[in-house]
């Protein structure tokens, strides 16, 4: 009986209490699907208009996975300490610059045997684990998913679904029952797998983010506009080259980036290798959607970017490993100037980055 089966699924899902800490685009998307699936979800966010819109009208999802609206339990951050009881699972989906205080805040809301799932961009797992406890943190890398929150109470997804988006893993690399449980929970959204190499997945995603996000943000171009510009692609390829050289110098087993091994990116100065990589960054024959990167969305909204935690991290680790990172250094400077209001996003910043990096 389908109705009875639905009731049983909801009853089973409701056995775990789940928080989404940071209901931005990614957090809202996860929260909407998990709520619709019958999980006991609480969304916590700082954007008052968004929280009120969700409370009054529900959370709307649109885009490539259809259009639906689901009633959600949404709380403003200021109300979170009034929550009774503890959460079994908390997805931390805040910006990287909010990681430290968010982890301290969540630590008080998680059950003694609960877990914080780091579903952020960048390399924040170690910091979170040092605060909540290494036995209470699991990494979750989200790849190949583009989502946006342009208005309160409405999140949309671009691109096509139907592939592996979520990669969940323990910091120590073993596949555990709780990792498998989180994978099962997320599988109602899109493809989800358990990984023994969460650090390699993190470096792969860091490389992808660092090569796409800031180039779109500093130029005010969408994904198609960036892909159509040969100098923009040159910057992207060299960001990836430096990132992979740093990761390999530190003995990370980096997962493929755009289907190509990190060792190949590290040899991008070779003409033949560069042509192979450039083909991966060019727009497809049918063009494609001109999607704004998440960092580009932040710039448009007047929000601070995560460039220090993306390209800045690569630069810092490069200095620690003795690996030069001139293109990432230049990207950090340009985007930081946009953050401070002393520079405007413009395609002219492409030439500026190349000059700063000594590549003009």
Residue 341's CATH number? 1.10.1040.10
CA 298 – CA 35 distance, rounded (Å): 26
| Model confidence at 111: pLDDT above 70 | yes
CA 199 – CA 221 distance, rounded (Å): 30
Mean pLDDT of the chain: 93
Clarify whether residues 173 and 212 are in a common domain. no
Structure tokens at 161: 């679904």
Clarify whether residues 171 and 214 are in a common domain. no
| Model confidence at 216: pLDDT above 80 | yes
Clarify whether residues 286 and 349 are in a common domain. yes
Clarify whether residues 191 and 207 are in a common domain. no
Clarify whether residues 7 and 102 are in a common domain. yes
| Model confidence at 249: pLDDT above 60 | yes
Give the residue among 216, 228, 252, 225 at the shortest CA–CA distance from 353: 216
Clarify whether residues 168 and 235 are in a common domain. no
Clarify whether residues 152 and 245 are in a common domain. no
- Per-residue pLDDT band at 285 (split at 50, 70, 90): low
- What element of type H or E holds 140? strand 137-142
Structure tokens at 103: 């982890």
Please identify, among 163, 196, 229, the residue that sits at the C-terminal boundary of a domain. 196
Structure tokens at 30: 């996860």
Question: What pLDDT does residue 6 have?
Answer: 39
- Checking phi first, is residue 254 left (phi over 0); if not, alpha (psi -120 to 50) or beta? beta
Clarify whether residues 160 and 215 are in a common domain. no
Gyration radius (Cα) of the chain, Å? 20
Q: What is the pLDDT of residues 29-87, one digit of tens each?
A: 999 999 999 999 999 999 999 999 999 999 999 999 999 999 999 999 999 988 999 99
Clarify whether residues 148 and 33 are in a common domain. yes
Q: How big is the chain, counted in residues?
A: 360
Residue 162's CATH number? 3.40.50.720
Clarify whether residues 253 and 316 are in a common domain. yes
Contact at 8 Å (CB) between 212 and 325? no
Query: What is the DSSP code string of 13-59?
Result: HTTSEEEEE--SHHHHHHHHHHHHHT-EEEEEES-HHHHHHHHHH-E
Please identify, among 196, 212, 242, the residue that sits at the C-terminal boundary of a domain. 196
Q: What is the pLDDT of residues 165-184, one digit of tens each?
A: 999 999 999 999 999 999 99
Please identify, among 152, 167, 196, the residue that sits at the C-terminal boundary of a domain. 196
Structure tokens at 358: 């000594």
Alpha carbon of residue 156 to chain centroid: 15
The residue range of the domain holding 266 is 201-356
Q: What is the pLDDT of residues 117-134, one digit of tens each?
A: 999 999 999 999 999 999
* 129-138, 199-208, 282-291: segment of lowest average pLDDT: 282-291
* 150-164, 180-194, 309-323: segment of lowest average pLDDT: 150-164
Question: What pLDDT does residue 292 have?
Answer: 84
Question: What pLDDT does residue 15 have?
Answer: 78
Counted domains in the chain: 2
The torsion angles phi and psi of 247, rounded to 5 degrees, stand at -60, -45
| Model confidence at 263: pLDDT above 80 | yes
CA 260 – CA 356 distance, rounded (Å): 28
Question: What pLDDT does residue 248 have?
Answer: 98
| Model confidence at 239: pLDDT above 60 | yes
pTM of the model: 0.92
Clarify whether residues 188 and 286 are in a common domain. no
| Model confidence at 2: pLDDT above 60 | no
| Model confidence at 289: pLDDT above 80 | no
With tokens 């590549």, the residue in question is 359
Clarify whether residues 232 and 177 are in a common domain. no
């Amino acid at each position: 009986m389908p109705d009875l089966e639905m009731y049983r699924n909801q009853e089973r899902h409701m056995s775990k209490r789940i928080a989404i800490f940071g209901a931005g685009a990614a957090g809202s998307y996860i929260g909407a699907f998990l709520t619709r699936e019958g999980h006991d979800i609480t969304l916590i966010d700082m954007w008052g208009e968004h929280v009120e819109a969700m409370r009054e009208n529900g959370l709307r999802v649109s885009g490539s996975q259809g259009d639906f609206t689901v009633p959600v339990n949404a709380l403003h951050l200021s109300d979170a300490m009034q929550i009774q009881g503890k959460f079994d699972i908390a997805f931390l989906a805040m910006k990287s610059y909010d990681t430290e205080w968010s982890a301290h805040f969540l630590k008080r809301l998680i059950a003694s045997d609960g877990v914080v799932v780091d579903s952020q961009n960048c390399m924040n797992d170690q910091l979170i684990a040092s605060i909540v406890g290494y036995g209470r943190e699991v990494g979750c890398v989200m790849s190949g998913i583009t989502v946006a929150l342009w208005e309160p109470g409405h999140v949309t997804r671009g691109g096509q679904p139907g592939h592996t988006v979520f990669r969940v893993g323990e910091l120590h690399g073993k596949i555990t029952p709780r990792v498998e449980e989180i994978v099962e929970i997320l599988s109602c959204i899109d493809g989800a797998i358990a990984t023994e190499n969460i650090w390699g997945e993190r470096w792969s995603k860091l490389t992808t983010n660092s090569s796409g996000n800031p180039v779109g943000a500093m130029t005010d171009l969408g994904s198609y506009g960036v892909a159509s510009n040969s100098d923009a692609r040159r910057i992207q390829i060299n960001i990836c080259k430096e990132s992979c050289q740093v990761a390999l110098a530190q003995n990370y087993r980096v997962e493929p980036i755009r289907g190509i091994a990190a060792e190949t990116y590290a040899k991008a100065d070779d003409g033949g290798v560069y042509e192979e990589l450039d083909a991966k960054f060019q727009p497809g024959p049918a063009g494609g959607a001109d999607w704004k990167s998440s960092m580009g969305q932040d710039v448009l909204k007047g929000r601070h970017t995560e460039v220090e935690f993306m390209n800045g991290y690569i630069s810092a680790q490069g200095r620690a490993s003795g690996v030069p990172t001139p293109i990432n250094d230049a990207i950090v400077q340009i985007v930081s100037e946009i953050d401070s209001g002393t520079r405007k996003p413009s395609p002219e910043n492409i030439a500026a980055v190349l000059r700063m990096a000594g590549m003009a």
